[in-house]
């Protein structure tokens, strides 16, 4: 793993640690504080986040509506866009127990994020989640419903 990829992985690990503790305030510290106008697009909200005030409110409101949460990531791809600027593309899974719901829920998402190198390390400056399409979800549900013996038979064809 390159140093760049390891450094970005460490930021993602810190992001997951915040979600795993359902302590979202420290996520703000993972962002570049010098970024004038942060852009973020979590998949569960309608409008993009385009300000620090709105992003901080998103974190506060998110934490307030959760009994618990967790996040994990995989399939990280990273490349440097310019000196001190990198983009990451990865997949993640999020679990949450949302107040008012009688059961927990989970969702897979794809993420692209831009990071800026600061003296203290890499910081997020742009973040977008892209949920797989409903058609892909439907195909996955159909695939999960296939009887195990049919899967073995089909694999032999």
Terminal-to-terminal C-alpha distance of the chain: 38
Read off the pLDDT of residues 55-103 as tens digits, 9 standing for 90 and up.
999 999 999 999 999 999 999 999 999 999 999 999 999 999 999 999 9
Q: What six digits make up the tokens of 120?
A: 């203290």
* Residues 157, 155: Cα–Cα separation, whole Å: 6
Q: What's the pLDDT at 1?
A: 45
In terms of Cβ atoms closer than 10 Å to its own Cβ (0-12, 13-18, 19+), residue 151 is: exposed
Q: What is the CATH number of the domain that holds 135?
A: 3.10.450.50
Instruction: Flag whether pLDDT at 39 surpasses 90.
Output: yes
Between 157 and 131, the higher pLDDT residue: 131
Average pLDDT, rounded, for the chain = 92
- How many domains does the chain fold into? 1
Helix (H) or strand (E) holding 55: helix 52-64
Between 126 and 144, the higher pLDDT residue: 126
> What is the extent of the structural domain holding 60?
3-155
Residue 41 DSSP SS3: strand
Between 151 and 41, the higher pLDDT residue: 41
Q: What's the pLDDT at 133?
A: 67
97-126 exposure pattern, b = at least 16 Cβ within 10 A, e = fewer: ebeeeeeeeeeebebebbbbbeeeebbbbb
Q: Tell me the helix, strand and coil percentages in the chain, rounded to 5.
A: 35, 40, 25
- Residue whose token pair is 């005030």: 53
């Amino acid at each position: 793993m390159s140093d760049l990829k390891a450094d970005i992985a460490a930021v993602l690990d810190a992001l997951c640690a915040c979600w795993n503790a359902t302590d979202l305030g420290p996520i703000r510290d993972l962002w570049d504080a010098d970024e004038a106008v942060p852009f973020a697009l979590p998949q569960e909200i309608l409008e993009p986040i385009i300000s620090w005030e709105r992003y901080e409110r998103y974190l506060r409101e998110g934490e307030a509506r959760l009994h618990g949460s967790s996040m994990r990531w995989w399939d990280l791809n990273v490349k440097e866009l310019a000196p001190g600027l990198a983009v990451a593309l990865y997949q993640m899974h999020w679990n949450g127990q949302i107040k008012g719901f009688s059961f927990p829920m989970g969702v897979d998402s794809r993420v692209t994020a831009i990071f800026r190198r600061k003296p203290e390390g890499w910081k997020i400056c742009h973040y977008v989640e892209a949920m797989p399409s409903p058609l892909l979800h439907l195909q996955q549900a159909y695939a999960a419903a296939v009887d195990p013996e049919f899967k073995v038979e089909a694999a032999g064809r």
